[in-house]
Amino acid sequence: MSIVTLQLGQCGNQVGSELFDNIFNDSQADRSTTFSTASSERFFHQSQQGDFVARAVLIDMEPKVIRQNLSRPTKWKYEQASSFTQRQGCGNNWANGFCVQGPAQSEAMENLVRRQVERCERLSGFLPVMSVAGGTGSGVGTFVTQRLRDSYPKSFLVNHLTWPYSQGEAVVQNYNSLLTLRHVCQLSDALLVQENDVVHAICGQMLRLKHVSINHINKVIAHHLGAVLQPALSADSHGVYSRNPLGELVSCLASHSEYRLLSIISVPHIPAPSMAFSTFHWPVLLKHLRQKLLSNSKMEAGKVSSAGVSPRPFNVSLANLLVLRGKDVFTTETGDFGEAGLYSDWLPAKEALSVWKSPVAFNKYEKTATLVSNSQALMEPLDHIVRKAWSLFACRAFIHHYSKFGVTEEDFLDSFAFAEQILSSYGQLGGNTS
Ligand SMILES: Nc1nc2c(ncn2[C@@H]2O[C@H](COP(=O)(O)OP(=O)(O)OP(=O)(O)O)[C@@H](O)[C@H]2O)c(=O)[nH]1
Ligand SMILES: [Mg+2]
């Protein structure tokens, strides 16, 4: 089954193009395999000339990044006519994107989506890729997500959201983030979240890059996403690569409407020059990944969040999906991830853990272990967004930029209340309310 990706705004378009690069290069390592065929069907269609063409719609209100994407020399292609641009971006203003640009350009964008859907023999669903902090990705992205939900109610909808640097570039980024979450959490089946701070740290500390560029960051984001979305075998797939990647992801991880936030961690990340000399053993990799899961919450013991919730001193999971790729996967023991102590007591640990495996090495790594986690890991960054936004809102700073496009103080208060509710729900996974 196929996935139609929507690249929205600068971030969405730059991350999206790295994702297609990652997937294409990975799946073409051995073109003859069923893995390669399954991957291509998911992400590409073939033109009459035999070119691999991304199943993607490119949307940005300013033309520069899309122009760069369309002229980038890659072994695969974007369909030139599958892009939509205007002359000017949304100026980091969610309200401009959601209330004005989105509705004004709705028909043209929907036509592009329909064209891609018609090219899919079997549609698994949609993957809108966007940042939550700018104006186009967040505002138009939210609008487009709403239209997809209305027009394709039976298709799966998984949004990939890039969260801004906590010491961010735009003063209103936290407003945009909250307004986006308020809507997208309720529209989408699951939100795959990657934080720029965390990915930046991976580039500096693990890949040992001295000067981390946005391109390095996007390659790591794409590596994480590709590791999850490339074909894999699940326990009940009887040796056939999963047919409905987004549907299976959602059913493993996000079956409860109040718990839609998914984080991704992966090991190993190795600097390119060291790759040839590195060997890894599954028990070591999995131990490392488990430690990352437990500490990933970045929450100090006893810290009280703005939702008044005092979480456990480690990261409690509602559900986890472990994806193993590479040599000897079928004999690897994954029992440590099924321990009841990692999970809330709402689900038996056996049901809370899903494992997907593929014997095909991923992205030149002999072995990769990736965990998609529906856990408390995103509480701390979300709490940070809420606190920063509230300190602006308390003195009504910049609100007039939003109200002139029709977003009211009431809408902001709803978004704060919604975020507090998410924090409270995740806090309760630990069963520890103050
Ligand atoms: N990881 C990553 N983050 C990006 C990239 N480009 C921008 N960002 C982040 O995205 C946020 C800004 O959003 P953009 O995507 O630039 O904004 P936009 O959607 O184009 O919206 P407007 O320009 O306001 O119309 C900031 O938090 C940036 O750090 C990128 O290529 N990769
Ligand atoms: Mg822009």
- Rounded alpha-carbon distances, angstroms, from residue 56 to 78, 84, 247: 7, 11, 19
Highest mean pLDDT among 217-226, 311-320, 352-361: 217-226
pLDDT band at 29 (very low <50, low <70, confident <90, very high): confident
CA 124 to chain centroid: 17
Q: Is the CB of 427 under 6 A from ligand 1?
A: no
pLDDT at 297: 41
pLDDT at 236: 77
CA of 56 from ligand 1 middle (Å) equals: 19
pLDDT band at 433 (very low <50, low <70, confident <90, very high): very low
Q: Which helix (H) or strand (E) holds 382?
A: helix 379-393
Phi, psi of 115 (to 5 degrees): -60, -40
Q: Alpha-carbon distance 328 to 243, whole Å?
A: 23
Q: Is the CB of 136 under 6 A from ligand 1?
A: yes
User: Quick check: helix, strand or coil at residue 119?
Assistant: helix
CA of 203 from ligand 2 middle (Å) equals: 24
Q: Is the CB of 125 under 6 A from ligand 1?
A: no
CA of 53 from ligand 2 middle (Å) equals: 24
Q: Are 62 and 84 in contact (CB under 8 A)?
A: no
pLDDT at 218: 98
Least confident of 118-132, 274-288, 382-396: 274-288
The answer, yes or no, to whether residue 9 has pLDDT greater than 70, is yes
pLDDT at 301: 35
pLDDT at 384: 95
Whose structure tokens read 């994407």? 69
Q: Whose CA is nearest to atom 22 of ligand 1?
A: 135
Tell me what the mean pLDDT of segment 265-274 comes to.
92
CA of 163 from ligand 2 middle (Å) equals: 15
The answer, yes or no, to whether residue 183 has pLDDT greater than 70, is yes
Tokens describing residue 234: 């699940």
Q: Nearest bound ligand to CA 17?
A: 1
What is the per-residue pLDDT across 88-116, written as a single tens digit (0 to 9) for each?
999 999 999 999 999 999 999 999 999 99
pLDDT at 296: 63
pLDDT at 400: 95
- Among 19, 87, 162, 169, say which to mutate for ligand 1: greatest number of ligand atoms within 8 Å of CB: 162
Please give the single-letter amino acid code of residue 120: C
Q: Are 358 and 35 in contact (CB under 8 A)?
A: yes
Tell me what the mean pLDDT of segment 235-248 comes to.
84
User: Quick check: helix, strand or coil at residue 253?
Assistant: helix
Class of the CATH domain delimited by 2-262: alpha beta
Give the chain's mean pLDDT. Answer: 91
Angle between helices 141-151 and 173-187 (to 10 degrees): 10
Q: Is the CB of 311 under 6 A from ligand 1?
A: no
The answer, yes or no, to whether residue 306 has pLDDT greater than 70, is no
Q: Higher-confidence residue: 434 or 163?
A: 163
The answer, yes or no, to whether residue 315 has pLDDT greater than 80, is yes
**Ligand 1 atom closest to the CA of 12, numbered from 1:** 15
Burial 253-264 (b: 16+ CB within 10 A, else e): bbeeeebbbbbb
Q: Whose CA is nearest to atom 6 of ligand 1?
A: 11
The answer, yes or no, to whether residue 310 has pLDDT greater than 60, is no
pLDDT band at 31 (very low <50, low <70, confident <90, very high): low
**Residue of 5, 227, 264 whose CA lies nearest to 127:** 5
The answer, yes or no, to whether residue 379 has pLDDT greater than 50, is yes
CA of 216 from ligand 2 middle (Å) equals: 19
Q: Is the CB of 92 under 6 A from ligand 1?
A: yes
Neighbours of 128 (CB within 10 A): 28
**Residue of 326, 384, 401, 427 whose CA lies nearest to 35:** 326
12 Cβ contact list (under 8 Å, min separation 6):
6, 59, 60, 128, 129, 130, 131, 137, 141
233 Cβ contact list (under 8 Å, min separation 6):
239, 240, 241, 242, 356, 357, 358
DSSP per residue, 333-363:
--GGGG-GGGB-TTS-HHHHEEEEEESS-BT
